[in-house]
Structures are given as structure tokens and as C-alpha cells.
Structure 1
Amino acid sequence: ITTNLEEAQKLFEIAAKKNLVLHIGHVERFNGAVQELRKIADNPYLIESRRVGPFNPNFAKDSIILDLMIHDIDIIVNMVNADVVEIQASGSRVYSELPDYAAVNIRFDGNTTAQIVVSRVTQKKDRIMSISQKDAFITLDYTSQDINIYRNAQSQHVFGNKELHYRNEYILERLFVYKDNPLKQEIKHFIDCINGTVKRVVTVEHELKSLKIALKIDDMLTKGIGAEEVRI
């Protein structure tokens, strides 16, 4: 586990020098719904993610950004092929010495915006993401591994019984998802990489970019910086 960019870069350098496989434990990459999302996400302009759950004192000393939000950052960076140009971050403590919840806006070059909420002090566990793009609205549930696509939305006002009613119609497509244990799939991928039958699913640059964004957000929360222009 690394808590800074220098340590992460050093690990990748050691792995490359010794011709070893270095695998980063982002288990959500192997969620069945996320696997399908990679096939249908197409230049999204708004990504909204919510990862919340009840308080567990065993994790009170952990950063919610590096423990929770890093998974959503990783998936979003994989969808948006552009630099981050602005970050807005807010959060606060409830039970811990570190922030227990955070709300973050990430703006990418090209005006894609990602809104991420994480919390370890919410009474109901929720792991969801939605993606808005020109031709579709996509919803994803990490827990159930379900993914739905809404298309061709139309709205109109109609008269009925002398009253005006509003009607919204759309086409709903429920994708078939191969649902398996993401951790099992992650370990299998790691073993396959070691055996040389497959290549790592993401690049070193991608891994470092996700960590760099997470560390920047963590630093902003620690210092109370609400917004900052960046180039990551």
C-alpha cells in the first residue's frame, strides 16, 4: 500500500526492472456491470457516483478518499480520456479525526464533469453510478451488478378529463451482465497476467493518474481548500 506518488512510481519501476507483474487492488474494475459499462460509455458529459455506508470504527483512521473514492476515480478516469483541469472538494468529520464524508466535483478538459459522493457514516449502504451522454442515460448498481440504459426520452403535455397531464416516455434496456465475485475475477486476472496469458487491463500511467487525483483531493480536504485549478 502506498500513500504517496513517489512510492507508487518506485514500485512500478522495481516491477519493470525485475520483469514482475504489479497488480493494483481496484476490485470494482472486475465488477460485471463495470465490464459492460466500458463497452457502452461514449463521451459522457456528466458522471455521478455515490458510495456510502454505515460507520465502522475499524476504518476510522483511514482516508475515505484513498479507501472509498479511489475506486470511483479509477473507473471514471478509464471512461474519460482527458486531463483533469479543476477539482472542487468539501467534507467533514462526524465520528473520526479524519473526514467521514466528502463531496467532490471533478472537471475534465472538454467539460466532462464527475460528481462523487462518499461517506462512511450513512445508515444505508449504497453503491451506484449514473452516466449521462448525448444518446443515453446509464445507471449502474455495483452491489447488484445491474446496468440499465435509458434512450429516446420524450416528454409531452396531454389533456385528459379536462386536466393537463405531463407524460415522459423512454426506451429502457436492461443489459445482460455476467455476475461473478469481483474479487475472484481480480485474482484470476492477476494469475493470468503472471502466467502471461493476458495483459494488465490498464496502463501504469492510468494507475498513477488515479492515485494523483485521489491524493490531490485528500490534500485539499486536509487543508480546507474548496476549489483548485489543476492539470492532471
Structure 2
Amino acid sequence: MASGLRVGVAGVGSLGRHHARLLRDLPGAQLVGIHDTDAARLRAVGEELGVATFDELDTLLDRVEALVVAVPTTAHEAVARAAVTRGVHVLIEKPIAPTLEAADRILEAAERGGALVQIGHVERFNGVLRACEPYLEEPLFVESHRLAPFAPRGTDVPVVLDLMIHDLDLVLSLVRRPVRSLAAVGVPVLTPSPDIANARLEFEGGAVANLTASRVSVERRRKIRFFQRSGYISLDLAAGVGEFLRLRPGVELIPGKPFPAAGIDELVERIELRSDGQEPLRCELESFVAAVQGRGPIAVTGEEARSALAVALEIVERIEEHVAHRAAS
């Protein structure tokens, strides 16, 4: 008989299906079944993965200890609160909720129910990001580009909550200082809410982040760069590769003093960074199971996700105030 943490998945669309696929064989977990309000999709995914299906969420909740919440963002609160009020631990896909009020209600219900809440900011588990951690010190300037072709998934919220929030979470977790000021612009292109956005954040202490996200691009791109006093880190999050550039030991470039007559490779050391090849979503699920079982910390807490949501919503508000958005509307 299968053993381990009894887990269910609510919502088996493009992402929830992968949660269910990975949970089938995850050590320490037992996938009890899946639920979706789309009956045809529920049956199709159930047959494809060979897992039990539940037409009613309550029936699934009666049989599990933990639940992955992969429904549309606008339904996060209802599903998550139904789980945590029963003491069922939840891994909620990002963002935690569409509003701060909804996020607070989820977290309050979880505290009352004694349930653990982890949020699915999966980019934290990207292998190349983990590979660069030994070289990350105190980023002073961060630049990210997260671009994707248009797809109906995620269009229930602005691109800031759909895509940019990945990079917001990364930046907030690495800079670890409050945002002092921000400016943002965005334009609705194919949906009523912004489909492309740019935000500039300035943090206490002087660090700056410039983030761009688009869901109406002709290409896919997930790149982020960190500039710090010790060097420059460039990561291709999609390809799982990157590099760290720094002056070679003993090289000192002094303003006003002629540079040594040497090529760039003699001055700058390039350190290749590469992902370990592990699937980030699998690593995220492993961390969730470990946290519920008391074998590890919560990788991304509800409070951290709420902080990212607060900044994201302020970006959306600034976009709506901007002339470019008003003209497009």
C-alpha cells in the first residue's frame, strides 16, 4: 500500500497537471487524487495520469493532509480557505491571491486551522539561480526580462501578477530591504488589463531593480542580471545557464591610470554557472512535503508572498495612473 503524505491537486490546467504528474512518483508523498471544475479536463487528466478524480472539492479534502492549489488566481481564496479551515496544508500557486485582503483572510484562516501555507514562487528553485548563490553578495542593480507569447492562461490578472511577480519575489528575497519608491508603466494590448509592463524599484540602501514583463511577445525570454561591487552575474533562467564575471585576482583598475595592455580575458575572470538539471517544480514539491513533515523550512511563506503581492499591486496602481495605460484604455 502507498504511504507518505496524502496530497491532492485542485485545478489541473496547464500547471496543475504538472503538479499531479510529479506528485505521482514523489518520495514521501501519496497522490490521492485531483479535482477540477471543468469535468472534461478532469476526466482527461485523470485518464492520462492514471489518478483518481473528484468532482467535489470537499470529498477530496476529506481524504488528504495537503493540497496543491492550482486554480485560477481569482479562486485561490475560496479553495485555500476550504482546505486550511480543515487543517489541510496548502501549496498555493503564485500569486497568493488577487488582493491583499484575500491574502490576509487565507493566512488568518490557516493560523486558526493550524495549517501550513507555502506559495509556489517556483523560480526560487531554478537550478542556475541556486548555482549563482555562492557569488551573490549585495546586488545594487538588478535587471530582468520575462517575455512570453500570448496564451489565455493567467489572463484573469494583469501581467504583473501573472509573470512579473516571479522576478519581484526573487528581487525582494535577495535585496532584503523595503522598497522606497517605484515607477511603472504598462499597456493593455490583447486583454482589458496590462499585458506588458515595466517597473523601476528603488530600495532603502540605494539598490535599484528594473523589471520588464510581457505576455504578448513573439519570443520567450527569462533572463535576470545582478550587478554588485564584486562583479556581474547574468542568468538565463529558461536555459539554466549563466556566468559570473569579476576582475581576476591581482588586477586593479584605477581611474586615471592606463589600463594594462591586455585582452579582456586577461583582466576578467568568467565563471560558468549551470543548473543541476533538476526540475524546479519537483524541487518545490519536495520542499513542501518536507516542510509539512517537519523535515525542512517553508521555502516561501505566506507572509513573503503577501509582501511580493503588495509591491505588485502598487505597480498595477501606478500603471493605471500612467498616461500610456489611460490612453490605451
TM-score (norm 2): 0.62
Aligned-pair distance for 1:72? 0.3
2:233 paired residue among 127, 134, 138: 138
Aligned partners of 2:221 and 2:274: how far apart in 1? 21
The alignment status of 1:218 with 2:313, answered yes or no, reads no
Gaps of at least 5 residues in structure 1 are 159-165, 227-232
Partner of 1:56: 151
Aligned-pair distance for 1:204? 4.2
Residues 181 and 203 in structure 2, CA contact (< 8 A), matched pair in contact too: yes
Partner of 2:218: 123
Partner of 1:26: 121
CA-to-partner distance for each residue in 1:185-213, whole Å, 9 max, x for gaps? 11111111111111112444322211110
Aligned-pair distance for 1:46? 0.4
Over aligned residues, Cα RMSD in angstroms? 2.2
Aligned partners of 2:103 and 2:133: how far apart in 1? 25
1:76 paired residue among 171, 179, 183: 171
Q: Whose relative contact order is higher, 1 or 2, with alpha carbons under 8 Å and at least 6 apart?
A: 1
Change (3 A) 1:192 1:46: same
2:277 paired residue among 179, 183, 190: 179
Q: Which has the larger radius of gyration?
A: 2
Aligned partners of 1:4 and 1:209: how far apart in 2? 11
Aligned pairs (5 A) from 1:33-112: 33-112=128-207
Residues 38 and 79 in structure 1, CA contact (< 8 A), matched pair in contact too: no
| SS of residue in 2 equivalent to 1:207 | helix
Which amino acid in 2 is paired with 1:30? F
Partner of 1:14: 109
Aligned-pair distance for 1:127? 0.3
Change (3 A) 1:176 1:128: closer
Residues 156 and 168 in structure 1, CA contact (< 8 A), matched pair in contact too: no
Residues 51 and 68 in structure 1, CA contact (< 8 A), matched pair in contact too: yes
Query: How many percent of aligned residue pairs carry the same amino acid?
Result: 28
Which amino acid in 2 is paired with 1:31? N
How many residue pairs align between the two structures? 219
Partner of 1:151: 246
CA-to-partner distance for each residue in 1:19-72, whole Å, 9 max, x for gaps? 211111111111112223343221111000000021124444431011101110
Aligned partners of 2:176 and 2:239: how far apart in 1? 27
Aligned partners of 1:94 and 1:5: how far apart in 2? 26
CA-to-partner distance for each residue in 1:148-199, whole Å, 9 max, x for gaps? 10011769486xxxxxxx9534210013532211111111111111111111
| SS of residue in 1 equivalent to 2:132 | helix
Aligned partners of 2:100 and 2:271: how far apart in 1? 41
TM-score (norm 1): 0.86
